[in-house]
Amino acid sequence: MEALPQTLLFGILRSGLYALSALGLAISLGVIGVVNFAHGEFVMLGAYLGFWLYVVLSGPLGLGPEVSPLVIVLGIPLSAIVLFALGRGIFRFTLRPLLGRRELDQMLLTFGLAILVQNLAVIVLSPQALDANLGWRFELLPVGPVSVTYARLAAFAVSMALVVGVYALLARSQLGKQMRAVAQNRLGAQVVGINVDRVYEIAFGLSLALAGAAGVMYVFQTQVSPFLGLATILKAFSIVVLAGLGNLFGVLWASLLLGIAEQLVSQYVPGGAALRDGLFFLIIFAVLVVRPGGLRRAHG
């Protein structure tokens, strides 16, 4: 059982990144009611932005691979800003016209966007996967009985900070309260005088900004390729479903749960590493069947 502490630790650390990418999805789903199939593609775009930042910093600016912390510090705001603007634009021109229509249409639209963005990336950026040789990625820090890379810790810390930050925004700020109000009851929110349209637009922008931030963190974890979106979307969906539609605060717990469960299954179930995704879905499936609303009741 000596692997247990490490398994748990890695599960917790991984859940940070999952929470960040799922939160964006949860916001667009919870506040606006839009199923954004293209969410993973925006994570991918954020990853590319982070990668280019790394290339520019370490190459022409000659700062070498030690730029890792800089990539995070600069990359996240950069990615968030760019994707926020992109999100608002996409919302205005494609989603807003669809808001009164059937869910199927919205899902199809975002799905079409996903195909469009992914394949544009393949053409414009090349399908070759890229690795950022960030020195920091490979340096180890001993944590009790195990060692973890700085990259893994940073991904967790930064993701958590962002998630907590967004939660604070939702709980405390005017905008956050408006978003929660709209998530609970659109008509009621309008009656109270909230500019629902503006809230939607900002929420969608925020959703994409979070995706972009998550993307920058991925630069430390894995190769950057136009197909990154596929890998992230299914897990994000599962977390959101598990937490329950509209339950933004539940995303954190759901991510932790799934992150740890995933690691436990990989470690202790025979053949777990390969079965992991299938088992993942089986668990989701089972939860849905038993509790169709997700783990927690939706609340504001």
Partner 1 sequence: MRRELAAWAAFLVLVAALPLSGIGSDRYLMLLANVMLMFMALALSWDVVARTGQLSLAHGAFFGLGAYTVALGHKYAALHPLLGLPLAALAGALVALALGIVTLRLRGIYFAIATLAFAEVLRTVALQLPDLTGGPVGISMPPLFDGDRVASYYLAIAIFVAALALSLGVRHSRAHYAVTAIRANETVAAVMGVNVVRTKVLTFTASAVVATLAGAFYMPFITHTDPHDAFDISRSVAALVFPIFGGLYTTAGPVLGTVVLRAFEEYLRVTPPWKEGYQVVYGAVIVIAVLFIPRGVLGLVQRYAPRAGALLGRRPRGSVPGTPSGPRS
Partner 2 sequence: MRRITALLVAAGLVAGACGGGTGPSAQATSAAPTTAAKPIKLGAILPLTGPSAATGQDMKDGYELAREQINAAGGVKGAPVEVVYEDDKNDPATAVGSFEKLVNSEKVEVLMGGLASTITAALIEPAKKAQVPMAWTGAAATTVEKGFEGQDWFFHYHPWEYQNAESGLAFLKSTPYKKFAIAHEDGLFGKGGADLNKAALPQQGQEVVATEAFKTGSTDFTALLNRLKASGAEAFLVVPFAGDMIPMLTQMREIGWQPKLIYASPPSFPPNFGQSPVAEGVAGLTLWTTDIPAEASKKFVADFQKKYSKPPVSYWSALAYTNLVTVADALKKSGTGNKAAWIKAMEETNYASPIGPTLKFAPSQTIKHQGFTRLVSFQWQGGKQQIVFPAELATAKLK
Question: Which of partner 1, partner 2, none does residue 231 bind (CB under 5 to 8 Å by kind)?
Answer: partner 2
* Among 144, 160, 146, CA closest to 256: 160
Among 55, 56, 70, 98, binds partner 1 (CB under 8 A): 98
Q: Does 103 bind partner 1 (CB under 8 A)?
A: yes
Q: What character string, x for contact with partner 2 (CB under 8 A) and - otherwise, covers 116-135?
A: ---x--x---xxxxxx-x-x
Within 1-30, the residues that bind partner 2 by CB under 8 A are 3, 6-7, 10, 14
In order, the DSSP letters of 247-282 are -STHHHHHHHHHHHHHHHHHHHSTTHHHHHHHHHHH
Question: Which of partner 2, partner 1, none does residue 272 bind (CB under 5 to 8 Å by kind)?
Answer: partner 2
Among 33, 77, 176, 300, binds partner 1 (CB under 8 A): 33
CA 295 to chain centre: 19
The answer to whether 164 and 23 are in contact (CB under 8 A) is no
Question: Which of partner 1, partner 2, none does residue 63 bind (CB under 5 to 8 Å by kind)?
Answer: none
| Residue 41 Cα distances to 13, 14, 150, 232, angstroms | 23, 20, 26, 9
CA 136 – CA 69 distance, rounded (Å): 8
Question: Which of partner 2, partner 1, none does residue 34 bind (CB under 5 to 8 Å by kind)?
Answer: partner 1
- Least Å from the CB of residue 111 to partner 1: 7
* Among 194, 175, 29, 41, CA closest to 106: 29
CA 198 to chain centre: 23
Contact residues toward partner 1 (CB under 8 A) are 29-30, 32-35, 94, 97-109, 111-120, 122-123, 182, 184-187, 234, 237-238, 241, 245-246, 271, 274-275, 277-279, 281-282, 284-285, 288-289, 292, 294, 298
